[in-house]
Structure 1
């Protein structure tokens, strides 16, 4: 039997939080905790990492839900589902920067919550990936020291490491970008990060791995590669600057 999906509820209205917890238990998920503040959520994640973060946008305290997600993403790659009673444009645009997997508008029905979680689980894969999918991933790419062979149409195509600009996560897939082509792989970004040679590559965001040698600009909150602005956090920016000194 596969393990239950673990969900942390971050909601400052405790009656709503308790009701969500009850619904999640009925749906077969495991609730790792209910916390009312973003700061408490970050502490909880350090001790017991959930599979999904169910996060109210309008939290009281020093961190709202979006700020909590941004802080979490500096150290963890946990899918976020936002709960919100305020779906205005400003909140939505801020929330998009954290790449959430779903929004659930309050007041919501049990089915709304269930569908949002099921969509997230299907996108991420978690512990329920079947063996045939793993086999496909082996067939999709062979990663060597200086090149990657990727499946393109009905053949395996050689992509030189030095020609890769960046790699972007796309649900359970990742997309390799070169200056003139892109390739879609059935492989998560996390798996790709483990297999890639470490010298030219650095994961600078939950959704991006970059080729350091292809950087054309380093700004305060992002870097530019091939006209693409890629977000980067302060800790990873420090790591990037260290790595640039060794090239």
Structure 2
């Protein structure tokens, strides 16, 4: 059986290193240590750890609670909050992210070990529904259904303006709002209507019918300038000549 993979999010590197050592000695695999909430989000989306140990108070632009909310939009990874501040207001805010447990600082090795063991038992009883690309999007002839927080959200293909790749996920831009799914752009290109959408850059796919202007190095769409990559230019102009 493979070891449980755990991400540590803690801005005190002495505490983080100590936790990492303890977890390694207990047989767990530490996927990494992140000190900022923003980096924790990227790490979680890319590596999909089994459990996240998240400090509530981080020194970055966002708190551990805010980072947890962002991660929850895409993945249901069991979360354990670490905190030295157990006031009621903070506790109530943290509860909204549906954590599996809280560990108050300072904590002992035994406290850490027992808490993680209990979370592992809960995972076995009711496995976490972690979204991957295969479950993140369901395509139809004229629409896609995006799975987000256990809901299916219908997005008509004609409403999509462009898709922008950001690391290991894609942002789908419509006139109304933006949706984010965990998927590399090339996988999404395979699943979406290739007659309607064209990839023009390693980071962009556009709805061809929505293009307002095409220049040698970029396209214009809703006042946004989107670059054309050299390797995609030929296919774009071939498509244009067919119109």
- TM-score interval w.r.t. the shorter chain? 0.5 to 0.7
- Partner Cα separation in structure 1 for residue 130 and residue 45 of structure 2: 19
Partner of 1:87: 86
Give yes or no for the alignment of 1:45 onto 2:44: yes
Q: Kindly tell me: are residues 19 and 46 of structure 1, through their superposed partners in 2, closer, same or farther at Cα, counting changes over 3 Å?
A: same
Please say if residues 37 and 64 of structure 2, whose CA atoms lie closer than 8 Å, have aligned partners that are also in contact: yes
* Post-superposition offset of 1:46: 2.8
Please say if residues 7 and 33 of structure 2, whose CA atoms lie closer than 8 Å, have aligned partners that are also in contact: yes
C-alpha deviations, 1:177-197, integer Å up to 9, x for none?
A: xxxxxxxxxxx7679xx7xx9
Please say if residues 74 and 235 of structure 1, whose CA atoms lie closer than 8 Å, have aligned partners that are also in contact: no
Q: What SS does the aligned partner of 2:48 have?
A: coil
Give yes or no for the alignment of 1:172 onto 2:121: no
Q: Note the 1:13-28 alignment, pairs <5 A.
A: 13-28=12-27
Partner of 2:109: 110
- Partner Cα separation in structure 2 for residue 74 and residue 190 of structure 1: 11
Normalized against structure 2, the TM-score is what?
0.55
Q: Kindly tell me: are residues 80 and 119 of structure 1, through their superposed partners in 2, closer, same or farther at Cα, counting changes over 3 Å?
A: same
Normalized against structure 1, the TM-score is what?
0.54
> Any unmatched runs of 5+ in structure 1?
126-170, 174-187, 213-233, 237-247
Partner of 1:56: 55
- Partner Cα separation in structure 1 for residue 129 and residue 37 of structure 2: 26
Q: Write out the 4+ residue segments of structure 1 that deviate beyond 4 Å after TM superposition.
A: 188-191, 201-204, 208-212
* Post-superposition offset of 1:23: 0.5
How many residues are treated as equivalent by the alignment? 150
- Partner Cα separation in structure 2 for residue 190 and residue 59 of structure 1: 25
> Any unmatched runs of 5+ in structure 2?
155-177, 181-243
- Partner Cα separation in structure 2 for residue 78 and residue 209 of structure 1: 17
Larger Rg, first or second structure (1 or 2):
2
